[in-house]
Amino acid sequence: MYQSRTPIARTSLAKVLLAVALVIAISATAAKAQQKLGDLVTEGGFDWMIGRWEHETDAGDKLQVIYKWELNKHMISMRFKMGGYESYGMIFYKPLENEVVQVGADNMGGFSKGTWDTDGERAISKSEYTGAGGEIRRFAVAHSKVDADTMKAEVYELDSDGNLAEQPGFTVQYKRQKPQTLKEDSKKTP
C-alpha cells in the first residue's frame, strides 16, 4: 500500500529552511557587530603608520617599509626591503581571540608569526622568525611617531617569556615617502 510522504517532507523542508535562515541572520548580525582592524588602528591613533617609509644608513643602504590597507581595512599588508633582503606580511585582527596578528615570509625561505599590541604611544610587534635552516629568533619592534613625516622603530630582543629587553638593540628613524604614482608610459595599453 502506498502512503504519501508529502506532509512530512514539507515539514522537514520547512525546518531546514528555517534553520538556514536563522544561521544566516545570526551570522549577518555578528559580522556587523564585529570590529575590523581599521577601527582598532584609528581608535588607537596609529593610522599615521600607513604609508611608505625609508631610512638611509650611514653606509648609504636603504631600508624601506610599506604599510598598506587591504580588504576594506580588514588587513594591512606590510613589505620590508633592505638590500637583497625582502619580506612580505599580513596584519589582521582575530576577533575571537581579540588580538592583532601578523604572518609573513621572506625571499630567503624564512617565515614569521607574531602579534601587535600598544604600549602608550607605541605600536609594538612581537615576532618569532624561523629561517630556512630552522634557526629561530624572537624580537620586537616598537613603532612611535616622532612627527608627521618621521617614524622611530626600536628593535628589541625578547626573553623566553616574551618581554622586551631593557634597551633596544638598535633604533631606526624612517622618513615618510610620497606615494608612488604610475609613470605615464605604464598607463598606456599596448
Buried b (16+ CB within 10 A) or exposed e, 9-20: eeeeeeeeeeee
The superfamily (CATH) of domain 39-177 is: Calycin beta-barrel core domain (2.40.128.20)
Distance (Å, whole) CA 166 – CA 186: 49
- Give me the amino acid identity at 81: K
Distance (Å, whole) CA 154 – CA 104: 20
Task: Provide the pLDDT for residue 3.
Answer: 52
pLDDT category at 35 given cuts 50, 70, 90 is confident
Element (H, E) at 101: strand 99-106
pTM of the full structure: 0.76
How far, CA to CA in Å, does 178 sit from each of 39, 50, 51, 65, 183?
24, 12, 8, 13, 14
Task: Provide the pLDDT for residue 28.
Answer: 47
Q: What is the CA radius of gyration of the chain?
A: 24
Closest CA to 28 of 37, 38, 17, 20: 20
Each domain of the chain, given as residue ranges in start order, spans 1-33, 39-177
Task: Provide the pLDDT for residue 32.
Answer: 47
pLDDT category at 25 given cuts 50, 70, 90 is low
Q: What DSSP letter does each residue of 145-171 carry, written as one string?
A: EEETTEEEEEEEEB-TTSPBPSS-SEE
